[in-house]
């Protein structure tokens, strides 16, 4: 994958807003990790065509004008980073994760206590367990996330989802 043809639009009128058009496989979780000091209010991801995705991130606060100038290049660098996002494991209880199966897609809901880096962690876990995201709607209200993900179903989805759910809901002390 070359780091070319990435579209990034940033504004900071009423809180920071980042809109990106990226190809599948680019490191959106690293972008979220780099911006995790800000409070993510809303996020939307949907597949366009030819493995391209539209990603919109809306944050509660704006960014200082001195930092704003370097933000676009920092986002592009993060998208191209092959590393794994470094974020804290959020507390997610098993009853806060549900899944409904459809013919081609599965709908995963995660309604949990919000924490910094929550979305970076979840997207990295989707990659780890080969869950292919097709669409996502994320909203944070009163320190609670209300997240809906549409995942492409394949022959290994149910097994991968079970491993994903077990992993994200494990007690932090039990993790390697």
One domain, residues 66 and 100:
no
- For residue 1, name the pLDDT band (cuts at 50, 70, 90): very low
Q: How many CB atoms lie within 10 A of CB 66?
A: 7
The verdict on residue 85 lying in a domain is: no
Give pLDDT, residue 175.
41
Residue 152: domain span: 94-174
99-154 per-position pLDDT tens digit: 999 999 999 999 999 887 788 888 888 888 989 888 888 888 888 888 999 999 99
The structure's pTM equals 0.74
What CATH number did the domain enclosing 128 receive? 3.30.70.260
Total domains in the chain come to 2
The verdict on residue 2 lying in a domain is: no
One domain, residues 50 and 23:
yes
- For residue 173, name the pLDDT band (cuts at 50, 70, 90): very low
User: Does 98 score more than 90 pLDDT?
Assistant: yes
| Stronger pLDDT, 139 or 13, i.e. the higher one | 139
Q: What is the DSSP string of the chain?
A: --S-S-EEEEE-SSS-EEEEEEETTS-HHHHHHHTTTS-EEEEEEEE-STTEEEEEEEESS---HHHHHHHHHHHHHHHH--S----PPP---GGGEEEEE-SSEEEEEE--B--TTHHHHHHHHHHHTT--EEEEEEEEETTEEEEEEEEE--TTHHHHHHHHHHHHTS-GGG--
């Amino acid at each position: 994958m070359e780091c070319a043809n990435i579209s990034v639009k940033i504004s900071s009128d009423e809180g920071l807003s980042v809109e990106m058009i990226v190809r599948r496989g680019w490191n959106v979780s690293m972008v979220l990790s780099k911006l995790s000091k800000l409070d993510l209010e809303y996020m939307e991801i949907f597949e366009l065509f030819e493995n391209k995705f539209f990603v919109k991130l809306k944050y509660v606060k704006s960014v200082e004008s001195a930092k704003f100038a370097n933000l676009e290049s920092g986002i592009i660098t993060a998208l191209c980073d092959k590393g794994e996002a470094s974020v804290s494991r959020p507390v997610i209880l098993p009853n806060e994760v549900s899944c409904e199966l459809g013919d081609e897609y599965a709908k995963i809901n995660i309604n949990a206590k919000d924490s910094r880096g929550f979305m970076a962690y979840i997207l990295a876990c989707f990659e780890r367990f080969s869950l292919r995201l097709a669409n996502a709607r994320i909203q944070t209200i009163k320190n609670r996330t209300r997240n809906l993900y549409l995942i492409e179903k394949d022959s290994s989805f149910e097994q991968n989802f079970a491993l994903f759910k077990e992993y994200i809901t494990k007690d932090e002390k039990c993790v390697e």
